[in-house]
Amino acid sequence: MKILITGGAGFIGTNIADYYLKQGIETDVYDNLSRPGVEKNLAWLKKTHPKVVFHKADIRDFETLKRKIEGTDLLFHMASQVAVTSSVADPRTDFEINALGTLNVLEAARAQKNPPIMVYASTNKVYGGMENAYIIKKKTRYDFADRRLRRGIKEDFQLDFHSPYGCSKGAGDQYVHDYARIYGLRTLVFRQSCIYGDFQFGNADQGWVAHFMRKLLRGKTITIYGDGKQVRDLLYVRDLVDCYVRAIAKISKTSGRVYNIGGGRRYSVSLIELLPLLERECKAVAKIRFSQWRPGDQRVYITDYSMAGQDFGWKPTTPIGRGLNNLHQWMTTSHAQSSMI
C-alpha cells in the first residue's frame, strides 16, 4: 500500500503521515513548504520516520503531480490556502491553489490506471455566514435560536460560499463530490470545523487555538475580532485522523459522500470561554484587545456529525482540556519552541 499526502508537512498532513508511518506503510509527503513552520514538521517526520519520502512540489504543477501520484493507493488532499483574510487580499492566488489546485489533484488521480481513494479536507466556510440561521446572543456566546439547529449543522444545510476562501474551497468541495458521480472516483469530502493540536503553527488568520496559546505563552496581547462570543466546535487533530481511517475502512459505503466533521455541541466554545481554559493550562493571564469583525466570520458554527457516526461509527473522544494539554506539551518541545514561544 502506498499513500501520498498533498500538504503533507502541514498541520493535519503531518499527523496523517505520522499515523501511517507508524503502521509501516509507504508514505509520500508532497509539499511546497510555503507555510511558516512546516519545514520543522518535515524535519521531525524525517528524524522520527527515516523512510518517509518527500517531494518538494506544488499542486499547481500538474505534470509533477501526475507523476508523483502514480502507484498511489490512498491520496489525502490537504494542501490549500487556508486563511479567509489572505483570500480577500489576494483572491487570484487563493483560487489557483484551492480551486484549480484541487482540479489538478482530481485530474492527476483520474489519469491513473487504478485511481486512488481520495480524501479531501473541506471546510465549514462552505456554509457562509449562515445569515439564514437566526442567532441569539447569550452572556458568553452566540447560539442558534432554532432548537432544531442546536445539535449542529447537517450536511444538507444551504451552501453559501462567503469570501473568496469560501468560494475556492467550495469549488473544490463540489468538484471532488462530482468526480465521484461523473467519473466513479472513490472520494471522501470532510467539511471540517475548528481543528487544533500538535504540529499546528497557528497565526492570526488561521489556527486560532494554537495562535492564542502561543500569544499567551509569550506574554503577548491576543487580538479578538468581534466581541469574542462567536462559537466554534473544537476537534483535536488525532480524532480527525481517526475519522479519516474509519471512513476509508468503510469506503464501499462512504465513497462519494460528504461529511460534516467537528467536535459537536459537547466540545463547542466561544473565544472568550476558551481564554480561561488556556490561562489555566498555561498558568498565565491573557492580555486582550478587541478589533472589528472580519468578513465572513460566522457568529456560531457547531457540527452535527451524526451521519459519520451512522456510516462508520465515529465520534470525537478528546475533551478540550486534554487536547489543550497535548498542544501545550507539543509547543514546549524543541521541535516547536523556536517558532512558537
Residue 32: give its domain's CATH number. 3.40.50.720
78-110 CB burial, b ≥16 within 10 A, e <16: bbbbbbbbbbeeebeebbbbbbbbbbbbbebbe
Residue appearing with cell numbers 509539499:
31
pLDDT at 339: 54
Classify the phi-psi angles of 71: left when phi > 0, otherwise alpha if psi is within -120 to 50, otherwise beta: left
Query: What range does the domain containing 126 cover?
Result: 2-340
Q: How far apart are CA 86 and CA 59, in angstroms?
A: 18
Residues 6+ apart with CB under 8 A from 22: 49
What is each CA distance from 270 to 232, 266, 315, in whole angstroms? 6, 12, 21
pLDDT at 338: 53
> What is the arithmetic mean of pLDDT over 213-226?
96
pLDDT at 341 over 50: no
pLDDT in tens, 7-49: 999 999 999 999 999 999 999 999 999 998 899 999 999 999 9
pLDDT in tens, 188-209: 999 999 999 999 998 877 899 9
> What is the arithmetic mean of pLDDT over 65-87?
95
Residues, the chain, total?
Answer: 341
Q: How far apart are CA 241 and CA 179, in angstroms?
A: 23
Residue 142 annotated among the catalytic residues of the structure: no
**Residue 303 class from Cβ within 10 Å (0-12 exposed, 13-18 middle, 19+ buried)?**
buried
**Residue 189: φ, ψ to 5°:** -115, 125
Per-residue confidence at 68, pLDDT binned at 50, 70, 90? very high
> What is the arithmetic mean of pLDDT over 67-95?
95
117 DSSP β-pair partners: 74
Active-site position among 20, 127, 165, 179: 165
pLDDT at 183: 98
pLDDT at 322 over 90: yes
pLDDT at 336: 62
pLDDT at 147: 87
Per-residue confidence at 98, pLDDT binned at 50, 70, 90? very high
233 DSSP β-pair partners: 268
pLDDT in tens, 117-142: 999 999 999 998 887 778 999 999 99
The domain total for the chain is: 1
pLDDT at 92 over 90: yes
First to last CA, the chain: 38
What count of other Cβ atoms lies within 10 Å of the Cβ of residue 46? 14
> pLDDT averaged over the chain?
95
pLDDT in tens, 141-171: 999 999 889 999 999 999 998 889 999 999 9
- Give the rounded percent of residues in the chain with a pLDDT score beyond 90: 87
